[in-house]
Every structure is written in structure tokens, then in C-alpha cells.
Amino acid sequence: METKQVAKLEFAVQLSCESCVRAVRAALEGERGVRSVHIDLSREEVLVETSLNTQEVQALIESTGRRAVLKGVGGAQADLGTAVAMLSGTGRVQGVVRFLQLSQDCCLIDGTIDGLEPGLHGLHVHKLGDLTQDCMSCGEHYNPFGKQHGGPEDTERHVGDLGNILAAADGRATFRLEDSQLKVWDVIGRSMVVDSGEDDLGKGNHSLSSTTGNSGERVACGIIARSAGLFQNPKQICACDGVTLWEERDRPLAGKGRRVTDTPPANL
């Protein structure tokens, strides 16, 4: 059985008493994929060591009725870098993708993207961090070694080839990938792109199979920027409405329940 890498996730959580702490601890401890939980009531902080993705851990915390906002990510030991891409595009596709370099040979890619058509969608790192012409100016797949397009498990692949993510019936794709070729320090300043269709991983008969995986149009993209690691983000949940500048709360990234004037905040 494949062993999933463990990361540490730092959440700001609305905690006012010891019963709040007990409720959050009970929701997390014993859950498969959660290795340890540390809760600091005075700082209203929850630190979880886990192989679950950020969305799953946030849902567990919020099942207790407390708001939770992700503040930082890091390795179980010392991590080698973190980055984030805020994705937007034509239509109502919006998302957040985070990168955590755990070792020279393992990069975690954790993301949530809303507003997609149900089904599989190609996910790639592209060469350029240029959004002057929206996603069309991101360049081709990040391919420093001049290889043909392939799947994430293939030796013959672009470094930026991350395969497919699956959007559920509600249009949300939540994923946690582990990649041996991608390095955070190489992709900061480049772009993350999600496509309209399924990537054939270079195994199709189409003329684009060996270059793009024939995964259709680019529906959302974002520049990959350096982000906060553990304990590097001092922002707290606002006492009035539970919202911080770090990440939106109370509504989906796209689709029903989101006002047209809403825009995703920068993850600095």
C-alpha cells in the first residue's frame, strides 16, 4: 500500500473556551490520516499533522461549528519551500492551489477548484507567469528537459505534467498530489493552468497528445507565488464576521452563492 506524505497545516480557529478545544480535538483525533493535533486556545490556533488535504481537515474542524482559516503549511520535518497560485479564468472557474516541497524528491500539490464541468480536467504548470492575455500568455507546459508530454508517473513527461483532477457533480475538484519531478523553487513565478477536458497523458492518437495531452482549452490560470510557511502568517480571524484577508469564507470560490463583484484575495 502506498504511503502518503505527511504535512503540517496551521489553522486559525474561533476558540473561546476549553469545551471548544475538546470539540475540535474530538473531531480530528482518531480520524484516518490525522497523525497529531496541537491546539493553542490563547492563540486560537490548531496545528494538524496529516496526510489529508487542506479541504478535508478544514471540514473536520468546521463540523464542530467553529470557523477555520488556513494560515500556513509546512513539512513534518523541515520543509524546503511553499508556494500558492490563485486561479481564475473565463466563466466562473476559481481556485487555490498550494505547493509544499517536503524533500528533494517530493512536492505536495494541494488544491480546490470550483466552477468546473463535472469530470476530468488536465492540470499543468506552464512556463511563463504572464497573464497579460489571460491564460493564453502562460506559454507552453514547463518542460526544461525538452521531453514529450506524458503522465505524472511517466519518465518521459514535462516537469509541469500533473495529470488530471476530477470535478464532482457540483463542479468542485479537491485534490492532493505528490510529485517527484516538480520543485517549488523552479516553479515560483511560473503559472498553474487547468484545462477544459481530460488529459490523455500522451497516450492518445491525436496530434496534440505528445505536446498538450489534447486536454482542450485553458479555463483558469494563476501565477505561482511564494507563500507563508508555518507560523509566518500573523493574520487572525476577524471577530465581527470570521473573515481574514488570507482566504475567503462563507461562500464558494465560484458558482451559486457568489456575488459577481466578489474577487479572490491575494495570498501573500
Enclosing domain of residue 195: 82-226
Say if 68 falls within a structural domain.
no
**Is position 251 within any domain?**
no
Phi and psi, residue 98, nearest 5°? -115, 150
Number of domains in the chain: 1
| Backbone Cα Rg of the chain | 18
The torsion defined by the Cα of 262, 84, 100 and 241, in degrees rounded to 10, comes to -30
d(CA 170, CA 53): 19
d(CA 219, CA 222): 11
Which DSSP symbol is given to 76? S
Rounded Cα distance, 15 and 31, in Å = 21
pTM > 0.85: yes or no: no
Domain harbouring 108, CATH code? 2.60.40.200
Residue 96 included in any domain: yes
Residue 142 lies in a domain: yes
Give helix 18-28 / helix 54-62 axis angle, nearest 10°.
140
The amino acid occupying position 253 is L
Give ∠ CA 87-219-137 in degrees, rounded to 5. 80
Ordered per-residue pLDDT tens for the chain, 268 residues: 456 788 999 999 988 899 999 999 999 998 999 999 999 999 999 999 999 999 999 999 999 998 888 888 888 666 688 999 999 987 789 999 999 998 888 999 999 999 999 999 999 999 999 999 999 999 999 999 999 999 999 999 999 999 999 999 999 999 999 999 999 999 999 999 999 999 999 999 999 999 999 999 999 999 999 987 777 777 666 555 544 433 444 444 444 443 333 333 333 3
Can you say whether the dihedral through the CA atoms of 113, 117, 122, 124 is positive or negative? negative
CB 111 within 8 A of CB 195: no
- Per the CB < 8 A criterion, the answer to whether 212 and 178 are in contact is no
Q: Considering the domain boundaries, does residue 244 fall inside one?
A: no
Q: Is residue 51 part of a domain?
A: no
**Positive or negative CA dihedral for 177, 27, 80, 1?**
negative
Q: How far is the C-alpha of 33 from the C-alpha of 6, rounded, in Å? A: 9
Q: Decide if 234 is inside a domain.
A: no
Does residue 47 form part of some domain? no
